[in-house]
Structure 1
C-alpha cells in the first residue's frame, strides 16, 4: 500500500515541480522582457515569483525532505563547539607560518635543483 501511495504522489509531485520550473522560467523571461521598467521593480517581481515557485516546490515530497534536511542541519550547527577568537588567531598564525616555511623550503629546493641542472648541462656561465 505504501508503494501505491508513493506512486500516486510522484505524478503530482512531478507536476508541481514542473509548475515551479515554469514559474521560474516565466519570472526570468519577464525580468528581461520588461527591461524598460525600473530594475527595483523587476527584481522585486522576480523575487516574488521565485518565492511562489519555491513554495510550490516545497509542497512536494522532495521539497519536504529538503526542508527537513535543512532543519536537521541547522540543529547540528547549533551543537558545534566553535573555537574562541584566541584559538582561531593562533591556528591562523600557525597556518601562515607553516605556509611561509614550506614556501621557502620549496624555493630552496628549486634553486638547488636549477643550479645542479645548469651545472650538468653547462648553461650556467
Structure 2
C-alpha cells in the first residue's frame, strides 16, 4: 500500500514539474511573442509566471529538498567567520605584491632565455 502511494506521489510530482516547465516555457514564449509591448510589462509578466512556476515546482519532493538545502546553506553561511576589513586589505596587498614579484622574476627568466636563444642561433648582440 505504501509503495502505491509513493508511486502516486512520484507521478504527481512529475506532473507538477512538467506543468511548471510548460508554464515557464510559455512565459518565455509570450515574452518574445509580445515584443511590441512595453519591456517593463513583459518582464513583470515573465516574473509573475516564473514565480508561479517556482511555487508549483517547490510543492514537489525535489522542490522541498531544494528548499531544505537552501535553508541549510544559509545556516552554514551564518556560521562562517568572515575576515575584517583590515585583514582583507592586508591579504589583498600581500597577493598583489607576490604577483608583482613573480611577474618580475618571470620577466627576468624570459629575458635570460631569450638572450641565450639569440646567442645560440647567432642573431643579435
Counterparts of 1:5 and 1:66, CA distance in 2: 22
Tell me, yes or no, if structure 1 residue 47 matches structure 2 residue 47: yes
Count of matched residue pairs? 125
2:99 aligns to what?
A: 99
1:25 aligns to what?
A: 25
Runs of 4+ in 1 over 4 A off after TM superposition: 1-5
TM-score (norm 1): 0.94
1:53 Cα offset (Å): 0.3
1:11 Cα offset (Å): 1.2
Mind listing any 5+ residue stretches in structure 1 that lack a counterpart? none
TM-score (norm 2): 0.94
The DSSP-based 3-state class of the residue aligned with 1:101 is helix
The DSSP-based 3-state class of the residue aligned with 2:21 is helix
1:6 Cα offset (Å): 3.5
Counterparts of 1:3 and 1:117, CA distance in 2: 75
Distance 1:8 1:122, change over 3 A: same
Mind listing any 5+ residue stretches in structure 2 that lack a counterpart? none
Counterparts of 1:3 and 1:98, CA distance in 2: 61
Counterparts of 1:2 and 1:93, CA distance in 2: 61
- Once the two structures are superposed, the pairs formed by residues 15-94 of structure 1 within 5 Å of their partners are 15-94=15-94
Counterparts of 2:102 and 2:50, CA distance in 1: 48
Counterparts of 2:4 and 2:110, CA distance in 1: 67
Q: CA RMSD in A?
A: 1.3
